[in-house]
Structure 1
Amino acid sequence: MPDVPDRPEIVCLCGSARFADEMAAANRDLTLAGAIVVAPGVFARSEHDAAGVPTDAQRAALGVLHLRKIDLADRVLVVNPGGYVGESTTREIAHARATGKPVSFSHPVAESDPS
């Protein structure tokens, strides 16, 4: 593990819930590199998940909470295997850019994506 500076970099992960495994790997890699990682906290994708699917109201609240996580971060890493960036992630990218946060991507963005 590297030396941890007095104020480690804070990285916010963004991306589709379908990439929960890839986000977990990015979280691990960044944490082992000495960063503080903030990421979506709920990845329930179907009624078969142990915690169930969040309600529409919960999803809306989680979306706002994630924007506040972006506000706390020094930069944003979009986890986007195959170049996929969905509607919620596009909104998060726009928020990050509007607040002056650098945005990078784990994979090249798909050609059809306006992000």
Structure 2
Amino acid sequence: MDGPGPARHAEDRTVSDRPEIVCVCGSTRFAEEMDAAGRELALAGIIVLAPVVLPRAGDRPVSEERKRALGALHLRKIDLADRVLVVNPGGYVGASTRREIAHARATGKPVTFTDPA
């Protein structure tokens, strides 16, 4: 049966539809690559939800409790997203990103990778 479904791509949406929402995931070692992917998506008219990358130069140390809270917050971003984009140069996926992928799949979110190797 033809017809638009909830997993339509951004180019298939009409002006009255809300833009697609994509949650970017990946290791913090790829902060620049995640930022670049987010910019590319935003320029394509997509709403981007991305992790807070810590620490940054000049930041105070972040407690483990705060890091856990930010990790839980990122899972809620995945819940809000239509799909997840994993930024994984060289195919690298760390433990936190694997947890995010498992959460996305458990909630029925499509997951794609920048480097499916």
Q: Is 2:105 the partner of 1:94? A: no
Residue number in structure 2 paired with 1:112: none
Q: Distance in 1 between matches of 2:58 and 2:40?
A: 26
Question: Sequence identity, in percent?
Answer: 67
What RMSD, in angstroms, separates the aligned Cα atoms of the two structures?
A: 1.8
Residue number in structure 2 paired with 1:63: 71
Q: Quick check: which has more Rg, 1 or 2?
A: 2
Structure 1 residues 4 and 17: alpha-carbon distance in aligned structure 2, compared to 1, 3 A threshold: farther
Q: Is 2:42 the partner of 1:34? A: no
Residue number in structure 2 paired with 1:25: 36
Contact 1:12–1:77 (CA under 8 A) maintained in structure 2: yes
- Structure 2: which 5+ runs fail to align? 1-10
Letter in 2 for 1:22: E
SS at structure 2 position matched to 1:76? strand
User: What is the count of residue pairs matched by the alignment?
Assistant: 105
Q: Distance in 1 between matches of 2:14 and 2:85?
A: 20
Letter in 1 for 2:66: Q
Q: Distance in 2 between matches of 1:63 and 1:102?
A: 20
Q: Is 2:79 the partner of 1:84? A: no
- Structure 1: which 5+ runs fail to align? 110-115
Letter in 2 for 1:40: P
Q: Distance in 1 between matches of 2:40 and 2:91?
A: 20
